[in-house]
Structure 1
Amino acid sequence: MLCFWGAQVREGFGLVQPDKVKHGNSGIRSVCPKTAVRDMSAGRSFVGFIRDGKVWVLRLRSEDCDHDGKLKQLQLKNDRIRLIVCGGDGAVLLAYGGKVLIMDKPTVCRPLEGLDNRQVIQIACGDHHSMALTKDGQVLVWGENSHGQLGLRKDHPGSPSAQHVQSLSGIPLAQISAGGDHSFGLSLSGVVFGWGKNSAGQLGLGDTTDRHVPTVVNSLHRKKTVSISCGGEHTATLSKGGTVFTFGSGGSGQLGHKSFKDEHRPRVVAELWGSEVSQVTCGRHHTLVSVASSKLIYSFGCGMQGQLGNGKIINKSVPFPVNLPTECNHDYTIEKLIAGENHSFALFFKEPGNESKPNPSRGILTLDDRMIDRWLSGSDPWKVVKKDINKVFSSAASLNGSFLKTSRDEHYQTSEDHCGLDFDLAKTSFAKLSKNERSMSEVVKVVQQMLPSLNPNPAGVESLRVYLLLPELIRRLQKQQRTELTEALASKILQLNPDARKVLEMNWSKLPDDCLKGLVKLFKKASANLIGRMAADTMNWDIMTRLPKFVQILQMVYQVCCRANRNITKSDFIINEINDLLDVVRTKKLMLCQRNSQTRQSSEFTYLMLLLCFPIFILHLLIIPHQLSVEKEKYFLFGILCGLAFNNTSVVHLPFPLALFKKLLDVKPSLEDLIEFSPISHTNLHTVKVELDPAETDFVDKYVDYILNKSVEEAFEEFKRGFFKACDRCMVEMFEPEELRGVLVGNEEYDWDILKQVHAYTHHPTIISFWEVFEELTSNEKKAFLLFLTGFEKVPILGMSAVKMSVRPLFSFTQDHLPQALTCHSLLDLPVYQNKETLKAKVIEAINHKRGFWEE
């Protein structure tokens, strides 16, 4: 049975003969067509009905036309329709196979472009835009974007074909809804996203600013929202248990708050408190709710066309019962409420106990234990199983909606510190799935294709569940598959934006102990696997670039464990296989060092050098800050930096004394080394030593030992430990202290002619003028220029010829610009100045600025 009330319409809509229309109290009429109405929708211009998979539409009267059109059947060929949604000027139809059709002209329908054979499960229409939700959880939109209602971006002009709302990728949506010029999405865990027009606060965000991308409505957090309905400029939500929230335009009383003012944040409809509302739907300026248990319908808002069903032409700001026919209370149950522009409808079904429940066919596909049992039982052909696996594991949204913790509705508590997953169920299911090699192989193949598509800038915390589920799946794979998928997962974790990564780390901190330890083991095993391969083939550059990903993830997890005081030890993070690799590297380096000096230029030698400054030491470094004081840690880290500089033959712009290099080489510093620290102390101690009896000079030796050794022993030992952590001792011991200082600090053998000779010379007038200016610089100015050009003031150990300088004239710069240097490449960017005098002035000004990493 179909009941309707509101503005005048063609008697019975043409569904039945006029004399078959029953008239009740308060202007409510009802019809019972021979072919039952299974779904219907009312928009601004049309009302549509579905009967037996076929669609009839009727154009409503308007200001331009004072009478309704005739009921006409749409030309649909062989498509059977199960849903219709009418919008501002047209309608959208959804066929049983998931095909979407658009009715933008009377009785004429066409397939929607841009769906690419996606299976659509829900549709929604606003005044000038439409939405679709696919089985794999993607939101597709089309139409106008004047207020951001498509959720694409601010400057997007709109589109006649379906466009993917990428910012919602990975969110397991339960419902979509479209209003006048605003849109909403609802996740399976009750998270509400709104976007589009917000002039009356209809997005519930506390302001009246339009949003061009989906934005979380934080005021509805943990309210267990199960459905949303959008009106012209207002919105209503329904929570599990029957609580109704409304917000937005309230000028006609459509919010039900005993007032006619707008609300910018969700507010409970107090008059309905305790009624256990089962449905809520918004019209243009009015709202309908139903209470299935009592078979009542309430209405509030604009009633100037009789659309409230209370027999009065008046606006009501509080819920008021609709005067339904008496048979509705005995023989029928409420199936669906429809609120249109100036009309209201209620679909009743006669089957008892058919209270409105979520339709499984309208939900996104998710993975559960029963589905896995069906795959493994053999009841479905492999072709069907393979297709199901592809659908589930190719969709991050489907995975993120799987294995939710439904006990006590815990998944509705999803937040930054609560992921909402039932890990026991997930582990049981994945363990079961791993026993079937054929199914598991197909899962691996699909997941490998899915991982690169993960959004690094997720819109909500639910989209991060996939990063918690996949480790549980990957742990059960064979070694090679496990390493490959672990690497792909690590890459995506490292690509997450800082806020998302912070949430993921919070989720890690709350993991059950076995899941957390399993996560560590997963990345440890992957690291150990690659390290073992490196030990077997130290020339494998590919592995060298892959290993840091695993180590960085282990770093992140370790820091999480420390902050959260989790029951997991430091030893759980140590990758013991690194010792085998270091033994191999040391052996090979010793063999190379014993050949000849030319070996240092070989690619294998370079590779081995790089290995020693490789980030595999980062994890050890991470653990040792928790063992040292802050000051000790600084010297240790500084030692590592200097060791890396030695390995990379990088000159360090620091005034290291010779005594430091002696101590690194276990050469005892002497009184003469004190002159670099304090010439006066050196002179005084030298005089004392001369004047003392030789048997009494022990005082001077002890003083020097204290100054250069004992007073700095703790700091130096940490520096030394860090230095040799990053470079091999056997390489360092090949040098004398003076030579070692030359390698690290450089020397003062300035041969400026060689610098000019090795310069990549071109005969440009500006470059010629530059070298003329350079010759006119003082010695200190030339040293300052070297510092400006290279980042170091002294000459590399290989001499000035190691400075491969080049000059690049810049024509687009103004005369006010200074020369610039790219120190990594000894490249001088030189603006083309009008004359030599300006060039000289600008060069001197640039080199005297003393800006860069060597000085703040």
Structure 2
Amino acid sequence: MLCFWGAQVREGFGLVQPDKVKHGNSGIRSVCPKSKVQDMSAGRSFVGFIRDGQVSVLRLRSEDCDHDGKLTQLQLKNDRIRLILCGGDGAVLLAYGGKVLIMDKSIVCRPLKGLDNRQVIQIACGDHHSMALTTDGQLLVWGENSHGQLGLEKDHPGSSSAQHVQSLSGIPLAQISAGGDHSFGLSLSGVVFGWGKNSAGQLGLGDTTDRHIPTVVNSLHRKKTVSISCGGEHTATLSKGGTVFTFGSGGSGQLGHKSFKDEHHPRVVAELWGSEVSQVTCGRHHTLVSVASSKLIYSFGCGMQGQLGNGKIINKSVPFPVNLPTECNHDYTIEKLIAGENHSFALFFKEPGNESKPNPSRGILTLDDRMIDRWLSGSDPWKVVKKNINKVFSSAASLNGSFLKTSCDEHYQTSEDHCGLDFDLVKTSFAKLSKNERSISEVVKVVQQMLPSLNPNPAGVESLRVYLLLPELIRHLQEQQRTELTEALASKILQLNPDARKVLEMNWSKLPDDCLKGLVKLFKKASANLIGRMAADTMNWDIMTRLPKFVQILQMVYQVCCRANRSITKSDFIINEINDLLDVVRTKKWCIWLSVEKEKYFLFGILCGLAFNNTSVVHLPFPLALFKKLLNVKPSLEDLIEFSPVLDEKCYCFYFNFCYRTDFVDKYVDYILNKSVEEAFEEFKRGFFKACDRCMVEMFEPEELRGVLVGNEEYDWDILKQNTTYEGSFYAKHPTIISFWEVFEELTPNEKKAFLLFLTGFEKVPILGMSAVKMRVRPLFSFTQDHLPQALTCHSLLDLPVYQNKETLKAKVIEAINHKRGFWEE
């Protein structure tokens, strides 16, 4: 049954014969067409009906014409229509399958240009602009842009073809709505975005300034908004639980606030408090709401043509019940309200208890555990599975709308410090998906193509969920796939604008412990993998250029952990493989002051910064001047002499013979240690502080910093012995261990240093002293006595064969330390 009231129209709309129209109280009429009305819409010029997938429209009377047209069925060939939205002059139709058609004033329909085979799931129509939402979460707009209602750049002239609203990329939209010249989008977690004309405050932003790009309505934050409707110059929102907010033009009472004033902020319609409103819809100057539980419809606003359904020609500023026919309260269920220019409609279905809409607004495609189960069970053919994988994982919006924490409506609390994701579900789902090699390979392929499209300037916090989901996915991949995707993810994180990066860091600080540790492990493994490849590939600088991305992410996460007092310690960030690389650097004799090519200073600085961050001793001849410059301390003449001893006599000659010309000496030192190396040093410094925390470095004096990085020569071999632990069949009193320490005592000082270098990759003592060197010794099983001891420098691990006597042990140890460096042979 269709009930309608308001301005005069053709009796029965042509849906039924005039004598089949029932007239009730207060000017309300009702019809029951033979073909059930599945959906309808009313605009300024037309009213349209969908019956059995076919569309009929009726032109409404206007100032130029004092009578309605005839109900005319549109010629749509084979397209079956499921939704129609009438706007100012025409209408937009949505066919089953996602095709969009545009109807103009002459009721001629044509396909919308610019869709590129996208599947549309929702449409909205304003006075002179329209919108469409696709299954993968893209918002497309077309029409006029006089007030920014398209959400494109400020000077965009408008378009007759569909244009993508880039600024909302990645936002998982649940609904779209278009008013006179303003627009709204609602996310799955209840975040409201408004843009366009704002002359009466219809955007709810607290002012009357138009917006040309989607802007978050902060006043509705955490209000659990589930639907939005736009009128001519006012807006209404409905929250979960039934609370209605209105804002914008109130000149006809359409806000329902017992006044005729405009409202620039969303304000609760107090008269409806506690009514559990189920639907709200805005007409040009009036508003309708329904309460499904009590089968009541309320109206407020302009009633000068009877569109309030109360039998009076008057404007009402408070909600008032519509005088519905008696049978509506007994035999029918309210399914949909439609408010037009000067008309009101209510669709009823004769199915008591069924409160679903005849054509509900469909949501974007999102990933959940049940979908993954279908992929893995084989219930869907591979062609279908592959298609759905492509749809979900090619869309940041789809991913960002997936795995929401729905218990207690937690995802509606999404904010800068609450991401709204159910991480337990994320982990179990991705772990399950990773077990199917065919599916996970397809996922990897699609994600690789999706990552470059991520928006570096996201419009809201929901668009950052993808940066939390992908690490959980990547952790389950094979090494090569994992490193490649991790690098691509790191690149996109570093491209985020500063505000978005701050929000992401806040989300990191709130991650569960296992997810946060997994994040660290992911980027740490990727770093270690590249470092290992660099060491094995004789310092492949192409690989080196990729390392800073991982290092910067680790530094960001480390700082987050420090600020948030998380349980993750600095040791969790240490990359032990850096020792192997530093050993290669040392053996190749690449020194910052001597032979590194200019363009490599930045990368070499990163390497040294990593060494500092990992508390690794670097076996390189760094002069004190370098550390002074890192700490912004002015180098002196003595620093120049240390750097180049051959200048010793000349410099002192300068100093004593020309002491009255101190300016010359200062300039000479400044030139040698500053100006002549300025460009190279700045690159080294930039790289150094990319890999470590500047605040931590600045805690040290230059001499202390050199001690941290280069080490010292305060050897205490007794402490090394005390700190040694034994594994496997070895123990402190094992004959081989007793012989080993006897041999060690007989080594010369230089041989002991060589052994430390063999074991750890550095021959000087770390800043924390010998107690920081904790050697582990385990037996190395061999069928011959020719096998040499081996060392894993990353872990200070000595693999020691069980020799038959002390003499053989001594000979093999000395041979090993003289000819090997851990795993690296000279």
> Are the equivalent residues in 2 in contact too, given 1:813–1:831 (CA < 8 A)?
no
Contact 1:653 1:854 in 2 (8 A): no
Which secondary structure does the structure 2 equivalent of 1:793 belong to? Answer: coil
Does the CA contact (< 8 Å) of 1:278 and 1:356 recur in 2?
no
Give the TM-score of the pair, scaled to structure 2: 0.74
Between the aligned partners of 1:200 and 1:186, the Cα distance in structure 2 is: 21
> Which has the higher mean CA deviation after the structures are superposed, 9-18 or 662-671?
662-671
Question: Contact 1:333–1:350 (CA<8 Å) still a contact in 2?
Answer: yes
RMSD, matched Cα: 20.4
Q: What SS class does the counterpart of residue 686 from structure 2 fall into?
A: helix
Stretch moving more, 456-465 or 740-749: 740-749
CA distance in structure 1 between the partners assigned to 2:788 and 2:287 by the alignment: 68
Partner of 2:479: 479
Deviations 1:391-424 (A, max 9, x none): 0000000000000000000000000000000000
**Alpha-carbon distance, 1:313 to partner:** 0.2
Q: Give deviations 1:677-718, integer Å, cap 9, x for gaps.
A: 9999xxxxxxxxxxxxxxx99999999999999999999999
Whether the 8 Å contact between 2:757 and 2:821 is mirrored in structure 1 is: no
Deviation of the 1:541 alpha carbon: 2.2
Q: Deviations over 1:328-360 (max 9, x none)?
A: 001100010000000000000011211136977
Moved more, 212-221 or 778-787: 778-787
1:153 to partner: Cα distance: 1.1
CA distance in 1 between counterparts of 2:309 and 2:631 reads: 96
SS of equivalent residue, structure 1 residue 48? strand
Check whether the contact 1:767–1:809 (CA below 8 A) recurs between aligned residues.
no
Distance in structure 1 (CA, Å) of the matches to 2:789 and 2:158:
47
Structure 1 range deviating more: 637-646 or 176-185: 637-646
Q: Distance in 1 between matches of 2:104 and 2:505?
A: 49
Give the alignment partner of residue 836 of structure 1, picking from 806, 814, 818: 806
Offset, 1:131: 0.3
TM-aligned CA distance change 1:63 to 1:512, over 3 Å: same
Q: 1:839 to 1:143 in 2, by over 3 A?
A: farther
Give the conservation status (yes or no) of the 8 Å contact 2:551–2:691.
Answer: no
Distance 1:492 1:264 in 2: 37
Is the CA contact 1:73–1:107 (under 8 Å) kept in the aligned structure 2? no
TM-aligned CA distance change 1:838 to 1:709, over 3 Å = same
CA separation of 1:809 and 1:56: change in aligned 2, threshold 3 A = farther
Relative to structure 1, is the Cα distance of residues 76 and 794 closer, same or farther in structure 2, using a 3 angstrom cutoff?
A: same
Q: Decide whether aligned partners of structure 1 residues 363 and 640 sit closer, same or farther in structure 2, where only a CA change above 3 A counts.
A: closer
Question: Which of 687, 696, 701 matches 1:731?
Answer: 696
Q: Secondary structure at the match of 1:363?
A: coil
Deviation of the 1:106 alpha carbon: 2.9
CA positional deviation for 1:647:
20
* Greater mean alpha carbon deviation, residues 78-87 or residues 538-547: 538-547
Structure 2 match to 1:818: 788
Give the distance between the partners of 1:813 and 1:303, measured in 2 at CA: 101
CA contact (8 A) 2:295 2:334 kept: yes
Residues 285 and 634 of structure 1: CA distance in aligned 2, closer, same or farther (over 3 Å): same
| Mapped partners of 1:341, 1:818: distance in 2 | 92
Structure 1 position 586, deviation (Å): 1.3
Normalising by structure 1, we get a TM-score of 0.72
Query: Residue by residue, what CA displacement relative to the aligned partner does 1:450-470 show, whole Å, maximum 9, x if unpaired?
Result: 000000000000000000000
Conserved? CA contact 1:281–1:337, under 8 Å: yes
Q: Is the 8 A contact 2:579 2:793 kept in 1?
A: no
Distance, in Å, in 2 between the alignment partners of 1:31 and 1:180 is: 29
Using the TM superposition, give the Cα deviation of residue 738 of structure 1 relative to its aligned residue in structure 2, in angstroms.
Answer: 20
Residues 638 and 262 from structure 1, CA distance in 2 versus in 1: closer, same or farther, beyond 3 angstroms? same
- The CA deviation string for residues 605-631 of structure 1, in whole angstroms up to 9 with x for no partner, is xxxxxxxxxxxxxxxxxxxxxxx9999
Q: Deviations over 1:543-593 (max 9, x none)?
A: 11101000000000000000000010101001100101111221122xxxx
Q: Which of 643, 657, 670 is residue 705 of structure 1 equivalent to? A: 670
Q: Identify the residue that residue 617 of structure 2 maps to in structure 1.
A: 651
Which has the higher mean CA deviation after the structures are superposed, 726-735 or 818-827? 818-827
Q: Assess if the C-alpha contact under 8 Å between 1:200 and 1:249 holds in 2.
A: yes
1:702 alignment partner, SS class? helix
Q: Rate the CA distance shift 1:219–1:820 in 2: closer, same or farther, 3 A.
A: farther
Which moved further from structure 2: 721-730 or 196-205? 721-730
Partner residue in 1 for 2:750:
780
Aligned to 2:708: 743
Distance of 2:249 and 2:791 partners within structure 1? 60
The CA deviation at 1:223 is 0.2
Secondary structure at 2:68 match in 1? coil
Compute the displacement of 1:247 (Å): 0.1
Alpha-carbon distance in structure 2 between the residues aligned to 1:344 and 1:142: 27
What is the alpha-carbon distance in structure 2 between the residues aligned to residue 730 and residue 25 of structure 1?
77
| Contact preservation (8 Å) 1:204, 1:217 | yes
Q: Deviations over 1:343-383 (max 9, x none)?
A: 00000001121113697761000000000000000011000
Deviation at 1:540, TM superposition (A): 1.9
Partner of 2:357: 357
Asked if the contact 1:245/1:269 (under 8 Å) is kept, the reply is: yes
Structure 1: runs of 5+ lacking an equivalent: 590-627, 681-695
Instruction: Find the counterpart in structure 1 of residue 606 from structure 2.
Output: 640
Verify the 8 A CA contact 2:456 2:496 in the aligned structure 1: yes
C-alpha contact (below 8 Å) 1:791/1:854 kept by paired residues: no
Query: For residues 646 and 457 of structure 1, what CA distance do their matches in structure 2 show?
Result: 33
Distance 2:151 2:643 in 1: 66
Check 1:848–1:260 CA distance in 2 against 1; reply closer, same or farther (3 A cut). farther
Q: Quick one: distance in 2 between partners of 1:832 and 1:46?
A: 95
- Residue 595 of structure 1 is matched in structure 2 by none
Residue range with higher mean Cα deviation, 576-585 or 740-749: 740-749
Residue 177 of structure 1: SS of its match in structure 2? Answer: strand
Q: Deviations over 1:603-661 (max 9, x none)?
A: xxxxxxxxxxxxxxxxxxxxxxxxx9999999999999999999999999999999999
1:542 to partner: Cα distance: 1.6
Judge which range, 530-539 or 338-347, deviates more: 530-539
Q: Is the 8 A contact 1:169 1:396 kept in 2?
A: yes
How far does residue 188 in structure 1 lie from its aligned partner after superposition? 0.2
Does the 8 A contact of 2:288 with 2:297 survive in 1?
A: yes
Percent identical among aligned pairs is: 96
Three-state SS of the structure 2 residue aligned to 1:771 is helix
Aligned to 1:714, the other structure's residue is in SS state helix
Offset at 1:294? 0.3
Distance in 2 (alpha carbons) for counterparts of 1:191 and 1:337: 24
**Relative to 1, partners in 2 of residues 1:533 and 1:174: Cα closer, same or farther, differing over 3 Å?**
same
- What SS does the aligned partner of 1:662 have? helix
Contact 2:579 2:760 in 1 (8 A): no
State the 1:539 CA deviation: 4.2
**Greater CA drift, 341-350 or 533-542:** 533-542
CA distance in 2 between counterparts of 1:328 and 1:735 reads: 81
Instruction: Report the Cα distance in structure 2 between the residues aligned to 1:670 and 1:280, rounded to whole angstroms.
Output: 77
Q: Which moved more, 1:251-260 or 1:820-829?
A: 820-829
Residue pairs, 1:95-244, within 5 angstroms: 95-244=95-244
Give the count of matched residue pairs: 800
Give the C-alpha shift of residue 194 in structure 1. Answer: 0.1
Instruction: Note the C-alpha offset of 1:740.
Output: 20
Give the match for residue 686 of structure 2. 721
Distance in 1, Cα, partners of 2:364 & 2:385: 17
Change (3 A) 1:340 1:823: farther
Asked if the contact 1:814–1:831 (Cα under 8 Å) also holds between the matched residues in 2, the reply is no
Q: 1:575 to 1:34 in 2, by over 3 A?
A: same
Q: How many angstroms apart in 1 are the aligned matches of 2:431 and 2:780?
A: 64
5+ residue gaps in structure 2? Answer: 647-660, 723-730
Matched-pair contact (CA < 8 Å) for 1:336–1:356: no
SS in 2 for 1:360: coil
Q: CA deviation at 1:387?
A: 0.1
Partners of 1:202 and 1:87 lie apart in 2 by 18
Cα distance in 1 for residues equivalent to 2:552 and 2:295: 59
What is the CA deviation profile of residues 235-281 of structure 1, one whole-angstrom value per residue up to 9, with x for unaligned ones? 00000000000000000000000000000000000000000000000
Q: 1:817 to 1:459 in 2, by over 3 A?
A: farther
Match of 2:109, SS state, is: strand
Q: 1:647 to 1:138 in 2, by over 3 A?
A: closer
Question: How much does 1:107 deviate?
Answer: 3.2
Shift of 1:105: 3.5
Aligned to 2:279: 279
